[in-house]
Amino acid sequence: MRHTTHNAMIEHPLTARRRALESAVADAGAGAGPPRRLYEAVLEFLTRGGESEVLAAWVMAVHRAAGAIQPPGEGSPVVSVIVPCHNYGAYLRECVESVLMQTFAAWELIVVNDGSTDDTPAVAAGLLADHPGHRIRYLEQECRGIVQPRNRGVTLAKGEFILPLDADDLLAPTFLERTVEVLTNRPDLGYVSTRALFFGSTNKIWPGEPLQPLALLVTNQQTNTTLYRRRMWRDVGGYDERMVHGYMDWEFWIRCTKKGGTGTQIEEPLFFYRRKADSVVMRAKKRDAAIKEQIIRLHPDVYDVARLGEARQELHKENWIPPVLLRPDLVIPRRGPGGAATDEAAKDLARPLLEMLVQLLPSLAHVFTRPDAGQGDPAIFNALSARLSRKAATLAERGGHDAAVETAASLLAAYPGEIAAVVLTMRTLARSSREPEAYALGRQYMALLPLRRDLHEGMADLLAGFARDTPDQVRAMALLDAATMLVPTRAAVWADFAAHAGGLGQYRAAKRALAAARGDFSARKESPRRLWYVTDTFGFGAGGVNGVTQAKFMTLSSVLRGADGPDVVVVTTWHAGLPDAMAEFAQHTALVCGEDGFRWPLWVALEQGREPGENPRWRMAGAPDLLIEEGVLLEGHRFLRTLPALPDCPRLFVHHTSPDQYTGKFEYRNLFDEAMRAFVNYEYHVCVSSNVISEWKRIDGLGKKNWIYIPNCAPEEEAARLLRCDQGALRESLGLPREAMVYLCLASVQTRKGHDILLEQMAEVFHKVPEAILVCVGPVHGEWSGWAIVEQARKRYGAHRVRFLGVRKNALEYVRACDCLVLPSREEALPLVILEAMALEKPCVASDVNGIPELVEHGVTGLLFSLGLPRDLARHMVALAKDPARAQAMGRQAKARYQALFARKRHAARWAEAIEAMAGQSVDA
C-alpha cells in the first residue's frame, strides 16, 4: 500500500478555494449575466487575500461581455477623461476602447502623448480615424514626465468631473455611469473611486478594507483613476510636479484631505489596473520610503518632519506613513454644504491607531488585533471604563499583573482614540513594573495629542519615577525638570527638582524651582544679562541624527559652560521626545564641561495650539537682553517669528550652511529671498567657516553685518574612549572584515553629498585595491536622488562591496573602524564628520569646496580633489591604500590640527567672546 504523509495531504484553504472557483468559472463561462452567487464569491476571494490570474481574467471578461462601443454623446461633456501616454502604444487602443464602451456617454477624452518613441502616434491616428464622431482630442509634446501631462490634460478639460486613466489600464463599461451618479447625488463629496482589479503580474482586488477618507493621510486606499470634481483639482493646485518618482496621486489625495475634501468608494471593482514588473508603480515601490519622505517634507502642516528619525524604520512599510508623524495640531476643515460636521472623523483613524499599538506594545498584539477592536460603542464608554478600571486595580492588588494589563488594554483596543483608555493602560503597565512600555505608550499618544492634560499627569508620574530610579543625578535633575513642564502647578515635583538641582550646585535653577513650588512664576535675574537661546526643535528624537542637531548640543553646552555668565533661557517647541533630549543633553553637558561646571537653563517649551502666556514658564523667562537663534536653514527663524513681540536686543543668527543651500540648487526649495529678508533682523551672524563667511559677505546687505567665526568641535570624550578600543575587535563587532581597506562615507545619501561622484570613481578603486569596501552611513534622502544612488551602487558593485547602513547612532564607531574617511560633497560649510575623523586620527579624502580646506590640509592631514577633476578622488583613495604608513601619519597630523584649532575649550571660549560682544552692544544701546 502506498502511504502519503499527513502534511502532503493538507492544502492551504485559499489554494483549495481558488481551485474550486477556477473550476466553477470554467464551467460557467464569461458571457453576460453569470451566476450572481458565483460572481460574488469570486470577488470575495480576490478581495480577501486570494490571487488568481484565471479569476481576474474572468471578472474582466464578465464586465466586457456586457459592453460594446457606444454611439457618440450629445451636448457638453460632463466628464473629461485624461489619458497620458508615454511609449504605451501597445495598450492605447484597448484603453481608449474601454472608454468608448461607457454606458454614460457625456464624456470627452484627452490623450496626451508625452514624447513617445514607439507607435503611439500611429495608434492614436487610427483611433481618430475609426471614431471621428466621438470627442477625442490628441496632443503631442516633448517628454515631461509622469505628472505634467495629467495637469496639462486637466487644464484643457471642459467637463465638470475629471477622470485620470493611464494608457495601459481599462474601465468596466459601467464605470462612469456608477461614479457620476454618486457625485451628482452627493454634492458633499469631492471624489468617488471603485475598488481596483489588478491584472498582469498581480491578480487580486484592492483595497481589501473599506475606504476611510481621513486615513488617506497615513495609507493610500484608492488609485489614480478616481472620478473627482474639477474644482477640487483647481482648489488644491493640481498634481505636484515635484512627485517625479511616483505617488503623485496619493500626494494629491493628501492635499485634498487636509483641505476638507472627502469621498467614497464603490465596492465593486470597475477599474482594471494592469500590473507590470517594470511599470512606474512597481519602480516607485523600490523607492517607497524615499517618496513617502518627500510627501512628509512637502506637508509640514500635516506631518511632524522632526520625528522622521524615530519613525524611519516604520516608513519602509509599504503604502504606509506612520501615524506618529501626524501633527497633533492638525485641523481638518469641516466639509460639505454649509460646513457639515464630520462627526465620524475620529473613527477613520481607528485602524492606523490599532496598527500603531500592535507595533508599540507587541506583547499585547493579540488584544489589539481582535475582530471587534476599534468598534467600541461611545455611548457606553464611561460605564465600561469605570468597570474595567476597578477590575484592573483589583487584579493588580492580587498580584495578577498580566491580567490587569490585558484588562486595561482591552479598553484601549475597543476605544483607541479615548485618552482615558490610554491613561488607564499606562498606569496599569507602570503598576505592573512595565514602565518602559508605559512610557512608550504615553510618549506616542502625547505626540498625537500634546494638549491633553490627563496624558501630561500620567507622563509626569513616569518621569518622576524614572528620576528616582536612575543613579545618574544629572539625568534625574533633567527628568524632573521635564516633569514640571508637564504639571507646572504640582508643587511636589518642583520641590523634588529643586532638591536635585541644589545638590548638584545648580543654585539658580534651584531658586527658580523653589519659587515655582510656592506658586511664584515671576521672572528673576541672577545675572545682569539674560540670554535666550531659541530653536525650533531640540534633541535627536526631534531632528534626527544630523550635524545641526549635534551642533545645537555643542553650542548650548558652550554657552552654559562655567558657573558665571548670563542667565540662559532655552525657548523651543514641545514635542514628546523633549524629556529624553533634556536628559541626554544634561549628561552631555556635565561630561564636556567637567570641572568648569555649567548653569542649567530655564526651559520654555511652547505647545502649538496654546498661547505662550498660558505657559507659566513663559512668565518665568522674562525678556531677553541677548538672543541667539539656531536651526536648520530658516526653521528656527520661522519659529522665532511666531513668538509675541520681544523688546529690541542684540540678535545673533547661527549659520551652518553656505548661500547655495538657500537657492534651491540642491533641493526643491528656493529660500534665498526669504533668507535675505530674515537676515536683516540680526545684527550678529555666527558662521562655522571663514570661507563661507566670505561668501555671505559678498551678498548685498550682509557685508556690513557683524560676522563671527566659530567653527564646530567634535565629541572629544567619545573619541578618546574609542581610540582605546582595538580596531580589529571593533570591526568584527560591526560586521566589517579585519583585513579589508575600509573607506567610510558618513553623510546623508543625496546629490549634494556627492555619492554619485564617489560611486563613479569606485570602479578604479576596486580594480587597484581589490580588498577595499565602501561603507556608507547616513539616511537616504530619496527626494534628492538618494535611492537612485543606492540602486546604482548595488547594480554596479553589489551590496557586499558598497554597503549602505542607514542611520547609526554609533556612527563614531564606524569612523574609528575605517581606514579613511571620504567626503565628495558638492557643498559643505564645515562638516562635523571631518572634525570627528580628525579627533579619531583618520585621514580624509574630500572635495575642496567651501570650508573643507579649513579642516583638511592637503598632503598633511588628508588629500583634496576638485569637483572638476573627479578622477583625483580615486587616485587619492588608492594612494592611501597603497601607503598605509603615510595614511596613519596623516591621521596623527589631523588629530594634532584638531587639538590646536578646533578643540572644545576653544569652541567655548569663542562663544564667550561672541556673547561678550553682544553684551557690549546691549550696554551701548
pLDDT digits (tens, 9 = 90+) for 126-158: 999 999 999 999 999 998 889 989 999 998 899
Domains 79-286 and 716-902 share a fold: no
Q: Could you give the C-alpha distances from 878 to 763, 776, 819, in angstroms and in order? A: 11, 18, 12
Range scoring the smallest mean pLDDT among 245-249, 255-259, 449-453, 721-725: 449-453
Residue 546 pLDDT? 53
Residue 446 pLDDT? 82
Q: What is the mean pLDDT of residues 697-713?
A: 93
Strands 136-141 and 161-164: unpaired
Closest CA to 555 of 460, 656, 647, 684: 656
Residue 27: pLDDT over 90 = no
Banded pLDDT at 545 (limits 50, 70, 90): very low
Distance of alpha carbon 812 from the chain centroid: 24
CATH of 79-286, one of 3.40.50.300, 3.90.550.10, 3.20.20.140, 3.30.70.260: 3.90.550.10
Closest CA to 571 of 586, 552, 588: 552
Peptide bond into 207 cis (omega under 30): yes
pLDDT in tens, 238-284: 898 888 888 999 999 999 998 888 899 999 999 999 997 655 554 54
Higher pLDDT, 324 or 425: 425
Provide the sign of the torsion angle of the four alpha carbons 658, 659, 664, 665, taken in this order.
negative
Q: What would the DSSP string read from start to end of 683-744?
A: SEEEES-HHHHHHHHTSTTTTTSEEEE------HHHHHHHHTS-HHHHHHHHT--TTSEEEE
Residue 285: pLDDT over 90 = no
What are the backbone angles phi and psi of residue 844, rounded to the nearest 5°?
-135, 135
Q: How many H-runs (helices) and E-runs (strands) does the chain carry? A: 41, 22
560 with 598: CB under 8 angstroms?
A: yes
Q: Which three cell numbers stand for residue 885?
A: 604608513
Cβ burial, residue 377 (10 Å; 0-12/13-18/19+)? exposed
Residue 610 pLDDT? 76
Strand ordering across the sheet containing 772-777 = 802-806, 772-777, 741-746, 820-823, 844-847, 862-865
Q: Which long-range contacts (CB under 8 A, 24 or more apart) does 667-674 make?
A: 667/752, 667/783, 667/784, 668/242, 668/783, 671/633, 671/634, 674/634
**Top CATH class, 521-709:** alpha beta
523 with 621: CB under 8 angstroms?
A: yes
Q: Could you give the C-alpha distances from 577 to 433, 496, 539, 601, 917, in angstroms and in order? A: 22, 22, 7, 18, 34
3-state secondary structure of 134: coil
Would you tell me how many other CB atoms lie within 10 Å of the CB of residue 150? 26
Q: Determine the Cα–Cα distance for residues 384 and 378; give it in Å rounded to an integer.
A: 10
Higher pLDDT, 791 or 840: 840
Q: Determine the Cα–Cα distance for residues 637 and 653; give it in Å rounded to an integer.
A: 8
Look at the block and give the residue holding cell 502519503: 4
111 with 82: CB under 8 angstroms?
A: no
Strands 741-746 and 772-777: parallel
Q: Which three cell numbers stand for residue 822?
A: 571620504
- Nearby residues of 343 by Cβ (< 8 Å), 6 or more positions away: none
Q: Determine the Cα–Cα distance for residues 331 and 313; give it in Å rounded to an integer.
A: 27
Share above pLDDT 90 across residues of the chain, in percent, rounded to a whole number: 65
Cβ burial, residue 261 (10 Å; 0-12/13-18/19+)? buried
Residue 185 pLDDT? 87
Look at the block and give the residue holding cell 492588588: 397
- List the end-to-end C-alpha distance of the chain, in Å, as a whole number: 106
Run of H or E including 874: helix 871-882
Residue 432: pLDDT over 60 = yes
Peptide bond into 647 cis (omega under 30): no
Highest mean pLDDT among 229-238, 357-366, 392-401: 392-401
Q: Helix, strand, coil % (nearest 5) of the chain?
A: 50, 15, 35
Residue 289 pLDDT? 86
817 with 732: CB under 8 angstroms?
A: no
Say which amino acid occupies 758: L
What are the backbone angles phi and psi of residue 742, rounded to the nearest 5°?
-100, 115
User: Strand (E) positions, 201-260?
Assistant: 205-206, 227-229
Provide the sign of the torsion angle of the four alpha carbons 343, 349, 354, 359, taken in this order.
negative
Q: What is the mean pLDDT of residues 840-853?
A: 97
- Domain ranges (residues) in the chain: 6-65, 79-286, 349-447, 521-709, 716-902
Distance of alpha carbon 318 from the chain centroid: 14
pLDDT in tens, 492-524: 999 999 999 999 999 999 999 999 999 999 998
Q: Which three cell numbers stand for residue 484?
A: 514640571
Range scoring the smallest mean pLDDT among 180-189, 544-553, 875-884: 544-553
Share above pLDDT 70 across residues of the chain, in percent, rounded to a whole number: 93
Look at the block and give the residue holding cell 576638485: 866
Range scoring the smallest mean pLDDT among 384-393, 451-460, 776-785: 776-785
pLDDT in tens, 390-421: 999 999 999 999 999 999 999 999 999 888 99
Residue 570 pLDDT? 97
Q: Could you give the C-alpha distances from 78 to 109, 170, 604, in angstroms and in order? A: 11, 20, 56
3-state secondary structure of 676: helix
Residue 8: pLDDT over 50 = no
- Size of the chain in residues: 925
Residue 9 pLDDT? 46
Residue 773 pLDDT? 97
Say which amino acid occupies 270: L
Banded pLDDT at 725 (limits 50, 70, 90): very high
Q: Determine the Cα–Cα distance for residues 163 and 783; give it in Å rounded to an integer.
A: 28
Q: Which three cell numbers stand for residue 169?
A: 489600464
315 with 321: CB under 8 angstroms?
A: yes
Write down the mean pLDDT value for the chain: 89
Residue 544: pLDDT over 70 = no
pLDDT in tens, 569-616: 999 988 888 999 999 999 999 999 999 999 999 999 998 667 888 899
pLDDT in tens, 647-673: 889 999 999 999 988 887 776 557 888
**Top CATH class, 716-902:** alpha beta
Residue 349 pLDDT? 61
Residue 880: pLDDT over 50 = yes
Residue 278 pLDDT? 57
Closest CA to 156 of 172, 142, 141: 141
Q: Which three cell numbers stand for residue 474?
A: 544629572
Range scoring the smallest mean pLDDT among 117-121, 306-310, 857-861: 306-310
Q: What is the mean pLDDT of residues 773-785?
A: 84
Range scoring the smallest mean pLDDT among 2-6, 108-112, 222-226: 2-6
Residue 454 pLDDT? 84
Q: Determine the Cα–Cα distance for residues 702 and 687; give it in Å rounded to an integer.
A: 13
Residue 921 pLDDT? 61
Q: Determine the Cα–Cα distance for residues 710 and 851; give it in Å rounded to an integer.
A: 12
Residue 667 pLDDT? 62
